[in-house]
Structure 1
Amino acid sequence: MAERPTTNWRRLIAAEAAELAAGTLAPDCAYMVDLFPDELLSATDAVLDAFETELATVDAEDDAQVLAAVEHVVLALNAVNEAHDECAFETDEREQLCLYIDEALTEQGVEVAALTARHGLGRHELTDQWRDW
């Protein structure tokens, strides 16, 4: 399965913690734990768990099923963002989440470029219809 953005975010937290422990990073320069609190990571992983479960049952040739799965994951991520004062996902995080959705679909046999083209969208506009983050 495509690597989740949360996996990368946890790596960043761990790397920063190691730098703090080694004394190579000043505590006032550490921000990863604040940027990615446990509640945010857990909530995001729960959404991605549900998305992966749904993808396993989706017919890759059925646009309606595929788009419904995308809508579900995006709306759930909207809720996570709302629960974190509309600032859970900044530009880099948004890009990582959208890339993850694209890669997860591709791994399930969805031809994302063809899907979006059939619906008058560019490949990178797949989530735009529902995305608030």
Structure 2
Amino acid sequence: MIRNNPEITITFDYTQHRYPGGGTNSHTRRLICYFLRLSFGFAVAHQLCTNHDLANFPKENHRQMKSEILEKKAYLLHWMYDFIEDDDEPAYLASDVLECDKILTDFINTLSESASKSDYLWVISQVESLVKTLNVVNAKHLNQLIETDQREDICALIDLVIQNAGHSAEQDITQQWREW
């Protein structure tokens, strides 16, 4: 039993769910914990489901988050390429968008795959490095590679990557280093 707030009490015993051949149904446990995570948030689900064979569920949730991250990045890059096509004399070329893509992809992969991602200060240092690298790239193009829309999309992308690493950013953490 857990009490998350005075109005919600959750009690369940999923040891009663068994496979026909015997043994506890770990799939049922993961489903229950996943439902709790969606319904009540990670903290409640974690408290209820700790040590209950959840190793595979975070991976599924991370796959969904990774998909959102890739969609956000694709959207950002689409509009950067669109700008090139619509302008007779664009301030940057497709190769510059590819450079930006590589920088963002490296950041996403580093935060997704590193064992250090649980360390918030390490994550912030990676964000700082990304922002400063993008500052240099943007400056090469007279600060026209990253305009207002791109800035907002990049910041949203960074927030998603930070969330995927298990942290939250309640404010724009890029602002202290950002020149775009």
* TM-score (norm: length of structure 1): 0.68
Structure 1: how far apart are the matches of 2:137 and 2:129? Answer: 13
**Pick aligned residue for 2:90 from 34, 40, 44:** 34
Structure 1: runs of 5 or more not aligned: 18-29, 114-122
Superposed CA offset, 1:1-20 (max 9, x none): 20365522554557x97xxx
One-letter code aligned to 2:106: A
Bigger RCO of structures 1 and 2 (CA < 8 A, at least 6 apart) = 1
One-letter code aligned to 1:100: L
Count of residues in correspondence between the two structures: 110
Aligned twin of 1:3: 70
1:5–1:38 CA distance, 2 compared to 1 (3 A): farther
Query: Does the Cα contact within 8 Å between 1:9 and 1:36 map onto a contact in 2?
Result: no
- Partner secondary structure for residue 167 of structure 2: coil
The structure whose Rg is larger is: 2
Higher alpha-carbon deviation: 71-80 or 55-64: 55-64
- Confirm or deny that 1:130 pairs with 2:174: no
Query: Does the Cα contact within 8 Å between 1:71 and 1:130 map onto a contact in 2?
Result: yes
1:4–1:131 CA distance, 2 compared to 1 (3 A): farther
Structure 1: how far apart are the matches of 2:98 and 2:147? Answer: 17
- For the aligned residue pairs, the C-alpha RMSD in angstroms reads 2.7
- The percentage of aligned residue pairs carrying the same residue is 25
**Pick aligned residue for 2:126 from 41, 63, 69:** 69
Superposed CA offset, 1:18-50 (max 9, x none): xxxxxxxxxxxx339936630221110111122
Shift of 1:108: 1.8
1:39–1:6 CA distance, 2 compared to 1 (3 A): farther
1:71–1:10 CA distance, 2 compared to 1 (3 A): closer
Structure 2: runs of 5 or more not aligned: 1-65
Structure 2: how far apart are the matches of 1:33 and 1:108? Answer: 39
1:32–1:91 CA distance, 2 compared to 1 (3 A): farther
Query: Does the Cα contact within 8 Å between 1:58 and 1:65 map onto a contact in 2?
Result: no
One-letter code aligned to 2:110: E
